[in-house]
Amino acid sequence: MNNKVTIAILLASFFLVCAVGATPVLDTDYPIDADVNTTLERTVNIVPVPSTALTIRPYQVANYSENGYGLWEYGGGLGYDKRLDLVTPQASPSRTEQARGHGFQKRTDFVTPAQTPAAVTHTARLLHFFDMTDIHISDKESPNQGIFYGYLGGQSSGYSPVMLLTTQVLDAAVQTINALHQKEPFDFGISLGDVANNEQYNELRWYIDVLDGKTINPDSGIKDDPVPGPLNDYQDTFKAAGLNKSIPWYQALGNHDHFWIGTNPANDYLKENYTGEYILNMGDIFTNPLGTNSRGYYMGSIDGRTPNGDIIGVGNVSNFTSPPKVLAADPNRHILTPSEWMSEFFNTTSSPKGHGFNQSDVEAGFACYSFEPRSDMPIKVIVLDDTQNNTDANDGGYGHGSLDNERFDWLVHELDAGQAEGKLMIIAAHIPIGTESTSSALSDFVGWSSVAQVSEDQLLAKLHEYPNLILWVSGHRHFNTVTAQKSPDPGRPELGFWEVETASLRDFPQQFRTFEIVRNSDNTVSILTTDVDPAVRDGSPAAISRSYGIAAQQIFNNTLPYLPTASYNAELVKPLSPEMQENIQNYGMPIAG
């Protein structure tokens, strides 16, 4: 079968599968493809839009296919880019090699004579885990969205048709994780925040229930059925597979989980509007100094009765004779405080209970904790809430990274304890730190807050005091990249650490990551990080979403590194202190030579 896929073919094959009554496998209504691979074996490549194609708007979903938008094909696999940036540099001149896409750099300037393929081998496996992030489970029929900011272009985070199928994409990713787990078991998984798109209760419950393997009704208000019959449209109730019960999964907090579309605390007007019928009237918060107190545009919603998710109630207020409404109000659209959000993770059938959050911290809304994924391995994971507080001053929105003194002091205590106990340490947080600008219009918005009690420089300086810190994992920016946070002391390279960002499951490339930490023959450790595309079956809702995501990327032209795949796999070498080299020698499962 030709791997180039159009939305028309996807829809046709999807309806055919439903018509012949294909039997679900793995106790799920939307089974994935039997051929499960990572990007080491194959990649998803965007097929360019023909030069003769008409330029279309994001909301013109019905016109995507005929104009050549949303096409993709499988390409060859990506090997590991071996990164030696943290290792002591040679005296020879440095060299920097341009990598694929948008000025991102492939660094090869820090090498040692010992770090050659012939000299260094992987000797033992220490840890295997996955992360996923920025899933943005969306109540597409909510009256409190930001569709206005993206339906004509502009911000794809405001509108993209991928919001129709977010629960189904998560289900496909979970099934892919389960299949990989059968090949090489995961010690744990972690989700790095923005599980909900708009801080709503029903969005969070859909997310947890997909991971728990429950029956999902991805519809709100009144029940809609745009294409009559079961399992043939984005509104249909379906049985999720659920994450393999042997995999413990943990959770971090994101800005979309407790701010209106990730940008601002909900004022009384917003809170009331969530559960009502009237579509939100808001100004342009990116330009109007009144922010969420501004008015002038109806933000729009999705008509869940239509096969392509048509937009309703969007545009200048002056264009409407009466305020537009959604089809029905729904009390399950109410927003959650961080405390209420954390509490929901105790209402689950998967493990561990609370998914990392401590019941004692719930009332205070303190979304930080640590855990040790394996009792037989000296590795500690520190889960850090680095989103802004509702009480922060507004410095252009609330999507920045931030730490107050309480969270910073907690982090220092956890790092001190891990260092004293001789444990390798991983920090997992929603928002990255110290990263390069991507020249995006949102670069300032997603960076570190200028009003944070703890500055980014202060935080980085503290982190560089811990030789056992090996890795910081994060999401937030919706793309894959790796940053070497090098030691400030050339004589102590072990004070550097790696920072790995994972792409969003919402937007192209719709991926998650796996991590394997191994001990090397030269007493370093390597972190093998691999991007994974959900193994979508042709014609499935998740496959349709992939085409929507690709079309959105072609229309919005978001800044992504490593196009046309937007994928990046790397082996990240981390030097250890002499004390830790000696300590780690007795740990791990030997790797056969």
DSSP letters, 111-130, are: --TT-STTT--EEEEEEEEE
Rounded Cα distance, 264 and 496, in Å = 34
Rounded Cα distance, 15 and 12, in Å = 5
Rounded Cα distance, 142 and 2, in Å = 38
Report helix angle 7-19 to 541-556, nearest 10.
Answer: 170
Residues 325 and 144: beta-carbon distance below 8 Å: no
Angle at 111 between CA 105 and CA 112, to 5 degrees: 175
**What number of other Cβ atoms are within 10 A of residue 80's Cβ?**
15
Report helix angle 405-420 to 456-463, nearest 10.
Answer: 10
Residue 442 has pLDDT above 90, yes or no: no
Residues 135 and 506: beta-carbon distance below 8 Å: yes
Residue 33 has pLDDT above 80, yes or no: yes
The residue ranges of every structural domain in the chain are 7-590
Element (H, E) at 170: helix 166-183
Average pLDDT over residues 336-354: 97
Rounded Cα distance, 134 and 157, in Å = 11
Burial 451-487 (b: 16+ CB within 10 A, else e): ebebebeebeeebbebbbbbbbbbbbbbbbbbbbbbb
Rounded Cα distance, 67 and 547, in Å = 13
| Whole-number CA gyration radius for the chain | 23
pTM of the model: 0.91
Helices vs strands, H then E, count in the chain: 11, 23
pLDDT one-digit tens code per residue, 353-366? 999 999 999 999 99
Q: CA torsion sign, 261 to 264 to 270 to 274?
A: positive
Burial 205-214 (b: 16+ CB within 10 A, else e): bbbbbbbebb
* DSSP-derived secondary structure letter, 479: S
Residue 444 has pLDDT above 80, yes or no: no
SS3 content of the chain, % helix, strand, coil (to 5): 25, 20, 55
pLDDT one-digit tens code per residue, 410-437? 999 999 999 999 999 999 999 999 985 5
Six-digit token pair at 539?
A: 């014609």
146 closest CA partner among 269, 300, 256 = 300
Element (H, E) at 296: none
Residues 6+ apart with CB under 8 A from 79: 40, 569
Which alpha helices (H) appear in 428-475, and where do they start and end? 443-446, 456-463
Residue 441 has pLDDT above 50, yes or no: no
Residue 381 has pLDDT above 90, yes or no: yes
Rounded Cα distance, 103 and 248, in Å = 38
Residue 185 has pLDDT above 70, yes or no: yes
572 residue type, one letter: L
Residues 552 and 156: beta-carbon distance below 8 Å: yes
pLDDT one-digit tens code per residue, 93-120? 332 333 333 333 333 333 333 445 458 8
517 residue type, one letter: I
Element (H, E) at 175: helix 166-183
Angle at 522 between CA 517 and CA 527, to 5 degrees: 20
Q: Domain 7-590 class?
A: alpha beta
357 residue type, one letter: F
Residue 242 has pLDDT above 80, yes or no: yes
Six-digit token pair at 101?
A: 């896409």
Element (H, E) at 501: strand 497-501
* DSSP-derived secondary structure letter, 387: B
Residues 198 and 139: beta-carbon distance below 8 Å: yes
Q: Mean pLDDT in the chain? A: 90
Residue 567 has pLDDT above 50, yes or no: yes
Residues 252 and 367: beta-carbon distance below 8 Å: yes
Residue 75 has pLDDT above 50, yes or no: yes
Rounded Cα distance, 173 and 130, in Å = 11
Rounded Cα distance, 380 and 361, in Å = 20
Rounded Cα distance, 358 and 180, in Å = 29
- Residue 27: per-residue pLDDT: 84
- Residue 446: per-residue pLDDT: 78
pLDDT one-digit tens code per residue, 189-231? 999 999 999 999 999 999 999 999 999 999 999 999 999 999 9
Rounded Cα distance, 386 and 430, in Å = 7
Rounded Cα distance, 565 and 150, in Å = 24
Residues 6+ apart with CB under 8 A from 375: none
What are the φ and ψ backbone dihedral angles of 273, each rounded to 5 degrees? -70, -30
